[in-house]
Homo-oligomer: A and B are copies of this chain.
Amino acid sequence: MKRHNQANEEIRGLVDQKHPTIQDVARHANVSTATVSRALSQPGQVSKAARERVTRAVSETGYIVNQAARSLRARTTRTILVALPDISNPFFSTILDSIERTIADRGYATLITNRGRGSKPHERLAGHLRSNRADGIILMDGLADLADVLRLYGPGDTAPVVIACEAIENVNLPTVKTDNQGASAIAVDHLAKLGHRRIGHVTSPAGNVLGRERGRGFRDGLIAHGIEFDPILETEGDFKAESGARAAQYFLGLDHPPSAIFCDNDIMALGLISELRSKGYSVPDDFSVVGFDDIEVAARLSPPLTTMRQARPRIGFLAANALIDIL
């Protein structure tokens, strides 16, 4: 009868998710739960004999630590939240890829959240931290009002937050990003050296800090070649292909269209080029176009899109490591 029950329990253990706890392991190994706990997290502090018995007991029982209990007790979740403006954008998803890899390699889990169109994204982010769901945030979304929350969270810009590919004004948190201003100036330099004097610009959405940096670089590039900045050659985009197509229509409608166009990202450049071609123009013969990001498909276009590379895998790697080092 006893045996029968025991067998049943083993089956139930597998089938009904009666997960073994640290107590079961302790019993199997003939040690206290404290020793099991230590054997698992600070093996150095446990005798070799005990360590081995615990290891065996763990595999015998199939024990896996209950993260909820550990988080509650240790006030740490080993989880990092990645806040993105748009996961489906290949620029971000490539960075996310390397962030996730780095986070996983260091034994953390990755929680993600897309920008909600809904209310108070900054509260949602802070909520993840405060509700003990995540230990830190990698922020790829530049929400202006987040600054307040972050500052509130810790004195002296101390929140466990690393900013990647973004910039938030008035906040002095660790940041990993491309030199947008410099790269944009180089893009313009490239076009000017091809002989272009009327250079158009499809900008980032208004208010985007990166966009301001790229705008400054764009003007730097013009100045370096003695070209006067003409606001009529600048039109606002939103980082999506459709806005690139609209920009093409805008430029074609001008009395004096530009002969070259710098787009603040590749996706808009794609939309712009496809619209120009559908109107019968050739790129690069009629218009030279330069994008930004170097998303994967850029090199696979015919001919390939000229673009400013952002070292995305490296950005992700650095940001993730920086955050975990802080924690």
A-to-B contact residues, CB < 8 Å? 14-15, 17, 19, 64-69, 71-72, 77, 79, 86-90, 93-94, 96-97, 100-101, 104, 109-114, 116, 127-128, 130-133, 152-155, 241, 267, 270-271, 273-274, 277-278, 296-297, 299-302, 304
B68, A97: Cβ atoms under 8 Å?
Answer: no
A87, B68: Cβ atoms under 8 Å?
Answer: no
B114, A101: Cβ atoms under 8 Å?
Answer: yes
Q: How far is the CA of A296 from the CA of B239 in the complex (A)?
A: 13
A273 to chain B, nearest CB (A): 7
Q: How far is the CA of A94 from the CA of B96 in the complex (A)?
A: 13
Taking CB atoms, residues of chain B closer than 8 Å to A132 are 19, 66-69
B17, A130: Cβ atoms under 8 Å?
Answer: yes
Closest 6 CB pairs of A and B: A68-B71, A93-B93, A88-B97, A68-B72, A277-B302, A270-B300
Indicate which residue in B17, B114, B153 contacts A100 across the interface (CB closer than 8 Å): B114
B113, A111: Cβ atoms under 8 Å?
Answer: no
Taking CB atoms, residues of chain B closer than 8 Å to A90 are 88, 90, 93
CB-CB nearest in chain B for A75: B68
B94, A127: Cβ atoms under 8 Å?
Answer: no
